[in-house]
């Protein structure tokens, strides 16, 4: 198969997997909402979903590395940072931020991660991104503002803004690590290790009292029915955590950090669609326009024109250089005339 066809197939697969991850992530808020309504704290909900995801992925993750954890141990610093920042840190920082600032503002800051990555790459490489990428980024951010619809008046809590920025950094780190996973560590194993370490860290924080944890174990309202407490917890752990993270990392490997990060903005669109279907929260016309702008921005970033290959410099041609035959050769072939060279001994 030609390299161009292979790249095209990888691109299509990456987009499909990335959209699936966006749908799974976007549905997480609607799925876990019944637990919050019954008095669950954010710490307890995050700990529960990470614990479920760690249990579900344990066997696939270990089989993927043939029970050899040495690649993870060799990259323990990166794995630890991934677990703290990209897994547990993102969710905790976001949940803590919305206790101080409006949810829409926190979402807007968190989902600026693709733009932050673009600016960092611009600053590091000192190479201006293609104008198609810049236009796509502007469209995506404009659409994000319309979909989320940031509202609120008065001064914003600086601590809440900092926490939302921490969540944004965690999202950006998630995309960076997904594109630079340690050698010998499959996506499912990387995600699983993040869940295990994240759950252990949160559990320890809850035991010592640093992180408030409260949970109730009765029935909850779930998709219009009364269901046991573990139904939404297992669903959010399997779908919106285990599957979403593995699919997201796979998409990043197929598409690269930039395209996958902008594709991740589809999570906002899917969150609105799921909320509309499940909770009856209709999407306003401006929200639909914003969704169209986000999709348009993603398309522009995805189809960034390839850099033109540098032109090859012409290779100068030279005439054959005549050589002076040695004395024996001149005697053997007297008919060959030797060129007259200037005497440079003087």
Q: Supply the pLDDT for residue 242.
A: 95
Residues 306, 308: Cα–Cα separation, whole Å: 6
Q: Supply the pLDDT for residue 155.
A: 63
Q: By mean pLDDT, which of 76-85, 128-137, 152-161, 235-244 is the weakest?
A: 152-161
Q: Supply the pLDDT for residue 152.
A: 53
Q: Report the mean per-residue pLDDT for the chain.
A: 81
Give me the half-sphere count of Cα atoms (radius 13 Å) on the Cβ side of residue 216. 11
3 state SS of 257: helix
pLDDT above 70 (res 315): no
Q: Supply the pLDDT for residue 330.
A: 44
Provide mean pLDDT across the span 93-103.
79
pLDDT above 60 (res 67): yes
| pLDDT, tens digit, 9 for 90 and up, residues 121-139 | 888 878 888 888 889 888 8
Is 323 or 63 the better-scoring residue by pLDDT?
A: 63
Q: By mean pLDDT, which of 36-50, 174-188, 236-250 is the weakest?
A: 174-188
pLDDT above 50 (res 259): yes
Q: Supply the pLDDT for residue 318.
A: 45
Residues 176, 73: Cα–Cα separation, whole Å: 20
CB 48 within 8 A of CB 56: no
- Highest-confidence segment of 37-46, 101-110, 266-275: 37-46
DSSP state of 221: E
pLDDT above 60 (res 327): no
| pLDDT, tens digit, 9 for 90 and up, residues 212-237 | 899 999 899 888 788 999 999 999 99
> Could you tell me the CA-to-CA distances from 38 to 32, 35, 216, 237, 277 in Å, in that order?
11, 5, 7, 18, 22
CB 252 within 8 A of CB 175: yes
| pLDDT, tens digit, 9 for 90 and up, residues 36-55 | 888 888 889 999 999 999 99
Per-domain boundaries in the chain:
21-127+156-255
Helices (H), 38-102: 42-64, 70-74, 76-81, 90-97
Confidence of residue 1 (pLDDT cuts 50, 70, 90): low
In sign, the C-alpha dihedral spanning 292, 24, 273, 163 is: negative
pLDDT above 80 (res 195): yes
CB 22 within 8 A of CB 251: no
pLDDT above 60 (res 338): no
- Give Rg (Cα) of the chain: 29
Residues 144, 167: Cα–Cα separation, whole Å: 17
Is 209 or 315 the better-scoring residue by pLDDT?
A: 209
Q: Supply the pLDDT for residue 151.
A: 59
Is 330 or 67 the better-scoring residue by pLDDT?
A: 67
| pLDDT, tens digit, 9 for 90 and up, residues 284-301 | 788 888 888 888 888 888
CB 236 within 8 A of CB 32: yes
DSSP state of 185: -
Q: Supply the pLDDT for residue 334.
A: 46
């Amino acid at each position: 198969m030609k390299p161009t066809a292979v790249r095209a197939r990888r691109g299509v697969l990456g987009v499909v997997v990335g959209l699936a991850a966006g749908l799974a992530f976007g549905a997480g808020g609607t799925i876990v909402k019944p637990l919050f309504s019954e008095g669950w704290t954010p710490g307890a909900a995050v700990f529960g979903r990470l614990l479920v995801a760690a249990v579900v992925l344990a066997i696939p993750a270990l089989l993927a590395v043939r029970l050899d954890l040495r690649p993870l141990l060799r990259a323990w610093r990166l794995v630890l940072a991934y677990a703290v920042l990209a897994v547990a840190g993102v969710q905790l920082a976001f949940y803590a931020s919305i206790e101080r600032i409006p949810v829409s503002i926190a979402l807007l800051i968190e989902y600026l991660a693709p733009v932050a990555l673009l600016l960092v790459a611009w600053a590091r490489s000192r190479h201006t991104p293609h104008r198609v990428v810049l236009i796509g980024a502007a469209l995506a951010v404009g659409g994000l503002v319309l979909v989320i619809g940031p509202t609120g008046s008065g001064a914003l809590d600086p601590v809440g803004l900092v926490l939302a920025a921490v969540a944004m950094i965690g999202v950006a780190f998630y995309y960076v690590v997904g594109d630079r996973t340690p050698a010998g560590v499959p996506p499912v194993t990387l995600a699983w290790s993040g869940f295990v370490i994240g759950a252990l860290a949160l559990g320890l924080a809850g035991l010592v009292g640093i992180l408030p944890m409260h949970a109730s174990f009765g029935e909850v309202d779930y998709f219009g029915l009364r269901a046991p407490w573990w139904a939404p917890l297992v669903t959010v752990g399997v779908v919106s955590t285990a599957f979403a993270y593995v699919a997201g990392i796979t998409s990043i490997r197929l598409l690269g950090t930039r395209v996958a990060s902008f594709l991740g903005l589809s999570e906002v669109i899917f969150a609105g669609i799921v909320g509309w279907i499940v909770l009856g929260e209709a999407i306003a016309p401006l929200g639909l326009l914003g969704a169209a702008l986000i999709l348009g921005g993603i398309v522009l970033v995805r189809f960034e024109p390839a850099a033109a290959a540098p032109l090859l410099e012409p290779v100068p041609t030279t005439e054959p250089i005549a050589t002076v035959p040695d004395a024996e050769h001149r005697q053997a072939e007297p008919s060959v005339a030797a060129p007259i060279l200037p005497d440079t001994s003087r």
